[in-house]
Amino acid sequence: MAAPPNWTNTDFLAGMQALMPTGPAWPRDADAVQTQVLAALVPVYTGNAGAAAALLVDAFPSTTLGLLPEWEATLGLPDPCTPLNPSMAQRQAAVLAKFISFGGQTTEYYIAVAAALGYPITITELSDYAWQINVPSVNISYFTAGISVAGDPLWTIGNAELECRIKQIMPAHTVLTFNFS
């Protein structure tokens, strides 16, 4: 959710009136024509202040709302790993996971990518080139008031996105298995 603007319509109106010259030709009464004209302009400034505050939220992939389509386009999403009809939270998680998938080969790196998608995993190294991702259970994502938005599915189930995203970034010379318990 975007942060409300710091200044209200009243604040902007008072600021605009303070910038006007003084004198009898420049009344500041509530019923004066100049005050009414300025009051008509004020919502534009309040809206712009709100949009500027929203940019602070949209600047980060995990909290973006208004710029989510731009983040997705920049990162090449949706892609074959994206679930059908993803919720807003799933879209944000996919953006974050793709954003932090800059390359790595440590267990911590893969655990972080899975955590960005909402999966708590552990990794077992089986041999030099074989490893296993342990997922505690099948992931169920429920519609959550305050986080989900209109049009989001009431629930989604499955781990296909995790498997696909990890397989996209795993080293090509390794063998990976998934253990769902």
Per-residue pLDDT 10s for the chain (181 aa) are 445 557 899 999 999 999 999 999 999 999 999 999 999 999 999 989 888 888 888 888 888 888 999 999 999 999 999 888 888 888 999 999 999 988 888 999 999 999 999 899 999 999 889 999 999 877 777 788 877 888 888 877 778 899 999 999 999 999 999 998 8
Q: Are residues 139 and 91 in the same domain?
A: yes
Are residues 20 and 89 both part of a single domain? no
DSSP SS3 for 132: strand
30 and 82 assigned to the same domain: no
Residue 126 inside a domain? The answer is yes
Same domain, 39 and 94: no
The pLDDT assigned to 5 comes to: 57
The number of folded domains in the chain is 2
| Alpha helices, DSSP H, located in the chain | 9-19, 33-58, 68-75, 88-100, 107-116, 160-169
What is the domain extent for residue 14?
A: 9-58
Contact 102, 113 (CB under 8 A): no
Q: What are phi and psi of 156, to 5 degrees?
A: -130, 150
Do 84 and 46 belong together in one domain? no
Single-letter amino acid code for the residue at 19: L
∠ CA 156-157-160, nearest 5°, is 115
Q: Are residues 148 and 119 in the same domain?
A: yes
Last residue of a domain, one of 39, 58, 77: 58
Q: Are residues 44 and 77 in the same domain?
A: no
Do 82 and 171 belong together in one domain?
yes
Q: Are residues 157 and 76 in the same domain?
A: yes
Closest CA to 178 of 127, 120, 132: 132
| Domain assignment of residue 3, yes or no | no
Q: Is residue 94 part of a domain?
A: yes
Q: Please tell me the predicted confidence (pLDDT) of residue 1.
A: 46
Residue 40 domain-assigned (yes or no): yes
Same-domain status, 52 and 76: no
- Are residues 29 and 87 part of one domain? no
